[in-house]
Structure 1
Amino acid sequence: MLNTFSSVRQYLKFDLTRVVIDNFVFKLHYRWTFVMLLVATLLITSRQYIGEHIQCISDGVIAPVINTFCFFTPTFTVVRDLNHTVFRPGSEPPGIGHYDASKDQIKRHAYYQWVPFVLFFQALCFYVPHFLWKKWEGGRVKALVFGLKMVGLTRYLKNDSLRIGKLNIPSMAEAEERIKDIRRTMIDRMRLNQSWGAHLVFTEFLNLVNLLLQITWTNRFLGGQFLDLGPKAIKGRWSEELSVLDIVFPKVTKCRFHKYGAGGSLQDHDTLCVMALNIMNEKIYTILWFWYAFLLTVTVLGLIWRLLTLCLYRNLTFTRWSLYWAKPGRLDEKELAAVIDKCNFSNWMFLFFLRTNLSEFLFKKVIYHLASEFPNPETDNDINAYRDMGASTSSSTVKARYPDINGLDTVDAPLLHQRHPATPPVSVLPDPSDMTKMPV
C-alpha cells in the first residue's frame, strides 16, 4: 500500500526550511485537496483493493468478454424499481427487476468509466491557482528569508556560519547583511511592482471560483445528485429506506449483450453485473461532499479576512494584531507606524509574509531599519538630521535615540533625504577701500 501512494508522499513532507508565501486556506486547496484527489484516483485505478471493477453473470457468453463489454458499454437500472415505496429491506437489490424494453424506463450509468480521469483533472484544477501565484510571486520572499529560519542562534555566532544537515545558521555579520538586503528590497518595492498584492487577491478569489466550478461539475457528473448527497447519505445510514447511495452508485446493474447464435439468429442476453467499483466511488464522493462543504466555508471566511486587510491595513492596531497572529512577538509601535504609513497593500502583504518567515529578533531589526528611512513629522524621526547635528547635539543623545545608528546601511537608499538642504555658499567681494592695505 505504501508503494502505491509513494507518488504523493512528496506533497506531505514537513520541511523546516520551507518558505511561506500563502496562508492556511490556500494550502487547503493546492495541497490537501490536491493530495486527496490524487489518492482517490490511485484507489480507483488499483485493482488490488477492490478486485475486478465489474463482474457479470451470463449463460452462453465467456466471462472476460461479457465483463469487458459491459464495462465499456453503459449498464443500466430500471427506474420503476428505484422507488422508495417499492423497496423493502432484505429484498433484491433495487433497479434490477423485470424489464420490458417497450414500456419500462431505464437509467444508464456510464460515469464509472470516467471517474479516475475526472478526479485527476479536478486535482490539477485545484493546483492551478497556486501555480499562478508562485509564478507571479517570483520567489522574492524565499530569496530574502531563505536560511534565516534559525536566526535566533546567530547571536552565538559572530563571523562564522554553522551548517547542521540541511539547516544553515548564518553568523551575526551575515544576518546583518541580509537585513540590509531586505531593507533595500522593501524600499525598492515602494515604487515598483505594485501589482504583487493584486495577484495574491486574484488567486485567492480564483480558489473560490474553482471550488464552485468543481462542485457544479461534480453535481452534473453524478446526474444532479451531488449537492445534497452528504445529508441524504447520513439520513439513509440510520433508516431502513432506500439510500441515495444505492441510487447514485448502484452495486448491481443490468447489461444487455447481443450475439448471433449457431442458426444465424440474434440472441439477447440479459446480464447481471456486480459493480465492485461503486463500493469505492460512493465513499470517495461522500467524503468529497463533506470536504467541499468545509472548504467552501473556510474559503469564504478567508476572503472576508482578505477584505478586512484591504480596508484596514493602514490601521496600527489591526496591523499589530495581524503580525502577531502571523507569528507572536512584540514590535515597537512608533517604528511600525512609521513603516505602515508609507506602505500600500502590496508592501503591507510583503511585510506580513516577512513576519511569517522571520523570527521576532530579526523582524524587529527589519522594522527598525525601515522606520529609520521614513521621517515622522511628529517625532522628528530623521536619521540624516541626527547624523548632521554635529556639535549642536552630543553623540550620546543620538545613540540614546538610535542605539544602532552606526549599524544602519546608508548605501542605495532612495528614500533617504534631509529636511533642510544645504544652502549654496555666497561669494563676497572685498571692500575697495581695503585694496590698498593688501600686500603686493
Structure 2
Amino acid sequence: MSLMSSFGVITKNFKLKPQQYIIDNLAFRLHYKATVLFFLVGTILVTSRQYIGEHIRCIADKGVPEHVMNTFCFFTTTFTVPYVNESKQDLEKITLQIKNLDAKLLDSGNLAHPGVGPYDFSEPIKRHAYYQWVPFVLFGQGLMFYLTHLLWKKMEGGRLRYLVDGLRYAAFSLDEKQLQVDKDSKIPSKSDKEQKIQEIRNIFLQGIYINRSWSMKLILCEIANLLHVVLQIYITNAFLSGNFNNLGVDVWRNGLESSVDVLDEVFPKITKCTFHKYGPSGSIQLHDAMCVMALNIINDKIYTALWFWFVFLFAFSALALLWRLATIVLHARSSSFNKMVFASSCPGRLNPWNRFMVSKHCNYSDWLFLVYLAKNLDPMVFREIFQGIAEDLEEKKSMKTPLINSEELVSLS
C-alpha cells in the first residue's frame, strides 16, 4: 500500500485550498487548519502498521503462545524498572541501587536496554499504558482545536459572506449584462455592482448589520485560542504522566550529550511484561517477557514535534493578541497606522481625508469590519466602497462642528 493511500482520507476531505471567505487572521487559521492537520496526520501514523509493522512484539518462553503474549501486553500495560540491584546475591546490599538509565552502564555493556533488567516484586516499577490511547487522544485534541472556529463562524453569522457575495469578480464589471464565469461564480453587471456597493454603504452607515459586539466576539475567540493552547499543554502533560512540560527542553539539552536517549524514559522502545497463568497443579506460573515497542518510534517524534509546535502556537497567538490590542489603541489615533493597514488593500494611495473620516468617525467594530471586507474584495472594488463610505460619513457629519483643523490636515498627507 502506498503512502498516498494511507492519507487518502485527509487529501479527500481536508484540502488545503484558499479560503473562500476570510473571517479571521493567520493566527486563528493556524489553530483550526495547521494544528488540526497535524493531529490528523499523527492519528493516521500511529494507527498505520505498514511503516512500523506490529505495534508490539514480545519475547517470552514457550509456555505462552507469541500472539497471546503480544495481545496481552498491548492491552494491559508494559513497564520498565526504574532501578536495578547492584547485587542480587548479597541480601544486605539490595538497598544499594543504580539508576538503569546510567550512560556508563549502557556504554560498558552491563545494561542491555534502558529500563529493562532483573527485579523483584518489592521494587518500584514504572508502568506505561498511554500508548493504547494515543490515537484517540490525538484525534480528540484535533477536534478540540476546531471548536473555536465553529464558535466564531456561528457568532459571525455569515455577515461578511452576505456582503461579499456578488462582488468577487466585480472589478471586471464592464458590461450591462451579467456573465457566468463557472458554476458558482459570475461577473455582475455594472448596475448590479453599483446596487450592491450602495447596499454596503447604506448598511455600514446605518450600523444595523454590523454591531459593536462583532469585534468583541472575535477578540474573545482569539483569547480562547490562546487559553486553549495552555489547556492542551496541560492535557498532554497529564496524559504523559507529567513528562511533557519539559520534553522539548530535555531533548534540546541532553539529546547529544548522553548515550541514553532522553526520550527512552518517556517513550521506551524496550519494556517488560509479566504474564501469570495457572499450571497443571493449580499453582500460579510467572512468564517474564521483553517487548519491543515499535509504536513508540512514532510516538516520541509526534510528541517532540508537538511540544515545539505548542510553544510556537502559544507565542504566535500571544503576538496576535498584542497586535489586536495595538489596532484598538491606534485605529482612531494614527493616520500612519491606517495607511499601513490599508496599504495592501487598495491600489495606489488612499485619499488622506477619506482615511481620516473613516478612522475618526467609525467605532472599532466598523473599522475592523472594513479591514476584513478588504481581505475579501478586489482592491479596486474595496477602494470604491471605502471612498463612498467616507463621503457618506462626511455628509452625515457636515452639519456638526468642524471635523479637522489645518494642522491636522497637513499631518495626514
**Which of 130, 136, 152 is matched with 2:171 structurally?**
152
Q: State the partner residue of 2:38.
A: 36
Instruction: Please give the per-residue CA displacement for 1:223-256, whole angstroms capped at 9, x wherever unaligned.
Output: 2221221232234442333221111000010011
Change over 3 Å in CA distance of 1:5–1:79 after alignment to 2: same
Q: d(CA) in 2 for partners of 1:114 and 1:327?
A: 51
Instruction: Please give the per-residue CA displacement for 1:46-68, whole angstroms capped at 9, x wherever unaligned.
Output: 22222211111221101221111
Q: CA deviation at 1:334?
A: 1.1
Q: d(CA) in 2 for partners of 1:119 and 1:5?
A: 16
Higher gyration radius (CA)? 1
Q: d(CA) in 1 for partners of 2:253 and 2:180?
A: 60
**Which of 50, 53, 74 is matched with 1:51 structurally?**
53
**Which of 147, 151, 157 is matched with 1:128 structurally?**
147
Q: d(CA) in 2 for partners of 1:174 and 1:192?
A: 22
Secondary structure at 1:330 match in 2 = coil
After TM superposition, the structure 1 = structure 2 runs for residues 111-260 of structure 1, keeping only pairs within 5 Å, are 111-154=130-173, 156-164=174-182, 166-189=184-207, 193-260=211-278
Change over 3 Å in CA distance of 1:348–1:284 after alignment to 2: same
1:329/1:360 contact within 8 Å kept:
no
Matched, 1:323 2:325: no
Q: d(CA) in 2 for partners of 1:293 and 1:328?
A: 37
Q: d(CA) in 2 for partners of 1:2 and 1:287?
A: 22
Kindly provide the amino acid, as one letter, of the partner of residue 287 in structure 1: A
1:87/1:94 contact within 8 Å kept:
no
1:162/1:171 contact within 8 Å kept:
no
Q: CA deviation at 1:32?
A: 0.3
Q: d(CA) in 1 for partners of 2:272 and 2:328?
A: 57
1:87/1:241 contact within 8 Å kept:
no
Secondary structure at 1:324 match in 2 = coil
Q: State the partner residue of 2:101.
A: 83
Q: d(CA) in 2 for partners of 1:106 and 1:317?
A: 64
2:203/2:209 contact within 8 Å kept:
no
Once superposed, which parts of structure 1, at least 4 consecutive aligned residues long, lie more than 4 Å away?
A: 325-329
Q: d(CA) in 1 for partners of 2:112 and 2:170?
A: 68
Q: d(CA) in 1 for partners of 2:102 and 2:190?
A: 74
1:183/1:370 contact within 8 Å kept:
yes
Q: d(CA) in 2 for partners of 1:265 and 1:302?
A: 66
Change over 3 Å in CA distance of 1:327–1:20 after alignment to 2: farther
Instruction: Please give the per-residue CA displacement for 1:83-111, whole angstroms capped at 9, x wherever unaligned.
Output: 33554236411111111112x22111011
Matched, 1:332 2:355: no
Q: CA deviation at 1:147?
A: 4.2
Matched, 1:61 2:64: yes
2:330/2:337 contact within 8 Å kept:
yes
Matched, 1:13 2:16: yes
Pick which of 140-149 and 106-115 moved more: 140-149
After TM superposition, the structure 1 = structure 2 runs for residues 260-271 of structure 1, keeping only pairs within 5 Å, are 260-271=278-289
Q: d(CA) in 2 for partners of 1:190 and 1:331?
A: 26
Q: CA deviation at 1:325?
A: 4.7
Q: CA deviation at 1:181?
A: 2.0
Q: Which runs of 5+ in 1 are unaligned?
A: 383-440
Q: d(CA) in 1 for partners of 2:42 and 2:320?
A: 26
Q: State the partner residue of 2:407.
A: none
Q: State the partner residue of 2:77.
A: 74
Matched, 1:350 2:369: yes
Kindly provide the amino acid, as one letter, of the partner of residue 111 in structure 1: Y
**Identity across matched positions, percent:** 44
Q: Which runs of 5+ in 2 are unaligned?
A: 84-98, 401-413
Q: CA deviation at 1:327?
A: 6.4
TM-score calculated relative to the size of structure 1: 0.81
Paired residues in the alignment total: 378
Pick which of 17-26 and 89-98 moved more: 89-98
Q: d(CA) in 2 for partners of 1:226 and 1:335?
A: 52
Q: d(CA) in 2 for partners of 1:246 and 1:327?
A: 55
Q: d(CA) in 2 for partners of 1:225 and 1:236?
A: 15
Secondary structure at 1:341 match in 2 = helix
**CA RMSD in angstroms, aligned pairs only:** 2.2
TM-score calculated relative to the size of structure 2: 0.86
Change over 3 Å in CA distance of 1:338–1:190 after alignment to 2: farther
1:20/1:356 contact within 8 Å kept:
yes
2:166/2:188 contact within 8 Å kept:
yes
Pick which of 275-284 and 86-95 moved more: 86-95
Q: CA deviation at 1:152?
A: 2.8
